[in-house]
Structure 1
Amino acid sequence: MNWRLAALKNGFKDYTAYRVEFLMEILGNAIVPAAIQWVLWYAIFKTDGATELAGMTYVQMLHYTLVSVLFNQVRGGDQDFELAEMIRTGQLSNYLIRPVGLIQFIYIRGVASKLLISALSLAIGIVLSVSVLSSEASPLRMIGAMLLALLGNVIHFQIGAVLSAMAFRWEDAYGLLMVKNMAVSILSGELLPLNLFPESMSWIWKSTPFYLYVFGPAQYALGEWTHLEFVRQLGVAFLWIFVLWVLIRFTWGLGIKKYVSLGG
């Protein structure tokens, strides 16, 4: 069997071995942020009496919350932390002698659960698009949005892989990866719609690929992006993937030359 298929199969087995925990993790990642956002929107629109916020009504905010929760489930996991830990502890040596691409192997094994979750999220999203969301939403838009979210998953891992290579020099890249995750939480649209940023500060999130994880897919799914804009953003995503692929080869190529398997 091709090692990539074997890695994917093993990833599915690992994440579904404890089904209750797996389900609770999914529900927790969905319910908690959705509840926080709903309380915030209720306080702004119902308690304070606001009619619009950054051009969005109460209903539009709720719709954003619904779809953003779906795409947030697809956002990258913690494979980059695994890579950094392998470098720090010396476990990387066990993989260097195997006939597999290490970074590909770690990603494929880790993305298995996200593929399952993305399928479930897509099914829910399609139902929402024909029953709850605005008339601009559609199953076709939801499928395209999920594709963009999956590309965001790839980008998220690639950025983590580049940063984890710092462990070759610093021994531990944990702090750097945590900072990256905090930035992603703010700049991906996971917590709040990015159009709440002041116009003078919008360049911050536009200059990173993080908005492709949640905000971008949500915008397309809700009909806020035209099809042409969606295609343009797909091009942006593929460009980021290519640039980060080059950076991975460069940083890991240098790192392997300095690697000494001494353990943590």
Structure 2
Amino acid sequence: MKKYFETSKVMFKTQLAYRFDVITSVVLTVSKILLAYVLWSAIFGTRDTVSGFNMSSMLSYYIISSFLTQLDQSSVIGWQISEEIRNGRFSKYIIKPMGVFRYFTAQTAGISAFLLLFNLIAAVTWIFVFRIDFAITTSGWSIFSAFILILLGLLFMMQINYFIGILAFKFLDTSIFMMIKDNIVQFINGSLIPLTLLPSEITRIMTFFPFYYISYLPSLLLLGRNKNEIVPGLIILSLWNIMFGILNSVTYKTLKFKYDGVGI
């Protein structure tokens, strides 16, 4: 366990040398909240509530969901794995005295931990800029459940990006898989619009998939909503993690034999 913790520490310190990446992450968080403010100001100009949200609660939702979305840095790892395989440099991970998936998970954890503080500062700053009545829940159960869902959600995103990354053992270009995944995830995890604005039938279907529980449900829980979905959410997200854990293990063991250690 110590070696993975040390890997996270190294990646945490490495981010100090890449200040532009930190600035970009903060700008993305700020931009998303700013665009939400402009959009919903126009919508709430003619009404008091939209699907049970008032202006303050809607902006609170966007601040929380934007913060949670920026915590997920696993897409970077997915691209890295694909590139290392294509260029013949993946051998160095195979010979490391660590599990490949656990090693990359530790890397991602280090990057996310470093960005945590800066994105939190950006989110809190906008609370004061917009003078939002930030109504976060005081329920310990909701906060704890949201925290567990966030961790499970980050683990799942690591699983799916790792899966796409190792597909480079078989496919020359995995960028199409990454782009499809990114476009789908941005919409169905509620980071673009709250899913409660969609027809109830569509939202009900989404509850069977993991993306509903990655940022949307934790955001609502932190606002004191949807407590009845906690237990189903924990079960469904755990099952998806188990399923992808098995899929990744089988896929890696099957495809790594196609790897010859030379670049394209």
In 2: Cα distance, 1:9 partner to 1:59 partner: 37
Name the residue aligned to 1:44: 43
Name the residue aligned to 1:102: 100
Instruction: Give how far 1:52 is off.
Output: 2.8
Instruction: Give how far 1:149 is off.
Output: 1.6
How many residues align? The count is 255
Name the residue aligned to 1:92: 90
Name the residue aligned to 1:187: 188
Name the residue aligned to 2:29: 30
Name the residue aligned to 1:112: 110
TM-score of the aligned structures, taking structure 1 as reference length: 0.86
Name the residue aligned to 2:51: 54
CA shift in 2, pair 1:217/1:163, >3 Å: same
SS in 1 for 2:71: coil
Contact 2:7–2:106 at 8 Å: present in 1 too?
yes
CA shift in 2, pair 1:120/1:29, >3 Å: same
Contact 2:56–2:134 at 8 Å: present in 1 too?
no
CA shift in 2, pair 1:240/1:3, >3 Å: same
In 2: Cα distance, 1:24 partner to 1:118 partner: 13
Correspondence list, 1:85-164, <5 A: 85-118=83-116, 132-134=133-135, 137-138=137-138, 140=140, 141-164=142-165
Instruction: Give how far 1:7 is off.
Output: 0.9
Quick one: percent identity of the two aligned structures?
A: 25
TM-score of the aligned structures, taking structure 2 as reference length: 0.86
CA shift in 2, pair 1:66/1:95, >3 Å: closer
CA shift in 2, pair 1:99/1:234, >3 Å: same
Aligned Cα RMSD in Å? Answer: 2.4
In 2: Cα distance, 1:252 partner to 1:210 partner: 23
Name the residue aligned to 1:7: 7
Residue identity matched to 1:247: L
CA shift in 2, pair 1:45/1:170, >3 Å: same
Contact 2:139–2:224 at 8 Å: present in 1 too?
no
Correspondence list, 1:68-87, <5 A: 68-77=65-74, 78-87=76-85
Name the residue aligned to 2:236: 236
Is 114-123 or 249-258 further displaced after alignment?
A: 114-123
Instruction: Give how far 1:219 is off.
Output: 1.0
In 2: Cα distance, 1:163 partner to 1:82 partner: 11
Instruction: Give how far 1:247 is off.
Output: 0.6
Instruction: Give how far 1:148 is off.
Output: 1.8
In 1: Cα distance, 2:34 partner to 2:236 partner: 32
Instruction: Give how far 1:80 is off.
Output: 1.1
Name the residue aligned to 1:253: 253
SS in 1 for 2:263: coil
SS in 2 for 1:166: helix
Contact 1:75–1:150 at 8 Å: present in 2 too?
no
SS in 2 for 1:81: helix
In 1: Cα distance, 2:133 partner to 2:139 partner: 12
Unaligned runs of 5+ in 1: none
In 2: Cα distance, 1:115 partner to 1:263 partner: 32
Does 2:14 align with 1:17? Answer: no
CA shift in 2, pair 1:221/1:157, >3 Å: same
CA shift in 2, pair 1:74/1:179, >3 Å: same
Name the residue aligned to 1:220: 221
Instruction: Give how far 1:155 is off.
Output: 0.3
